[in-house]
Amino acid sequence: MTQDSKVEEELSAKNLVIAGVDEVGRGSLVGPVVACAFIFDNLKTSIKVCDSKSISKIKRIRLFYEILQTNSLFSLGLASHKEIDQINILNATKLAMKRAVEGLSSKPDILLIDGNNKIKSDINQKCIIKGDAICKSIGAASIVAKVSRDSLMNKLSSLFPLYELNTNKGYGTKKHKKLISKYGITPIHRKSFKLR
């Protein structure tokens, strides 16, 4: 157990309200980056949350519904493809996280943020590298953000069916890049992202 993996337990033992914060969609070529701020009602929940990218789609969706059935709070925030192009992906990610935190109906005492970038907020913050794998609240935020963004990409796929966004979720797969080469970009592609 690492020092960071104990942080959440130690903060919870002090009766502090913890919000885990994570994002998805940073590396996508299409659409928004989506962040979630998540406050567990009870960190002792038996739900085994983890990094949303490390589990199958079926397990992720099952966990998503289990998480929603807890008496917990969460808020989603996003930064659009246009905002990403205007302020860059790092700043857009921070903006989405800030919006998610500001959308919570109850103000937490501390934010545990996945990664190493703090956001503009008067709330105390601790950044934890790979926090989605070691902190329950960040893991829950990761799962809620991922399932929510995937659902949005499925809807966008019906508007732009040639790009198979329902399967690639906007990421730069070989097939997606071929489709861009063949048809060009859509209005929801990030113009600041270069194909490699």
Residue 23 included in any domain: yes
What residue spans of the chain are helical by DSSP H?
A: 3-13, 57-68, 81-87, 89-102, 131-134, 136-159, 165-168, 174-183
Given this model, what pLDDT does residue 52 score?
64
Given this model, what pLDDT does residue 1 score?
45
Residue 159 included in any domain: no
What tens digit of pLDDT does each residue of 10-32 get?
Answer: 998 999 999 999 999 999 999 99
Please give the Cα distance from 123 to 20 (Å, whole number). Answer: 12
Residue 142 included in any domain: yes
Query: CA nearest 27: which of 173, 137, 135, 132?
Result: 173
Residue 127 included in any domain: yes
Residue 65 included in any domain: yes
Q: CB of 89 within 8 A of CB of 114?
A: no
- Total domains, the chain: 1
Using DSSP's 3-state secondary structure scheme, residue 159 falls into helix
Q: CB of 9 within 8 A of CB of 44?
A: no
Query: CA nearest 36: which of 141, 147, 148?
Result: 141
Q: Which two three-digit tokens encode residue 3?
A: 């020092």
Q: Is 185 exposed, middle or buried (0-12, 13-18, 19+ CB in 10 A)?
A: middle
| CATH number reported for the structural domain that contains residue 143 in this entry | 3.30.420.10
Query: What is the model's pTM?
Result: 0.93
What tens digit of pLDDT does each residue of 127-151 get?
Answer: 999 999 899 999 999 999 999 999 9
Residue 188 included in any domain: no
Q: Which domain holds residue 84?
A: 3-152
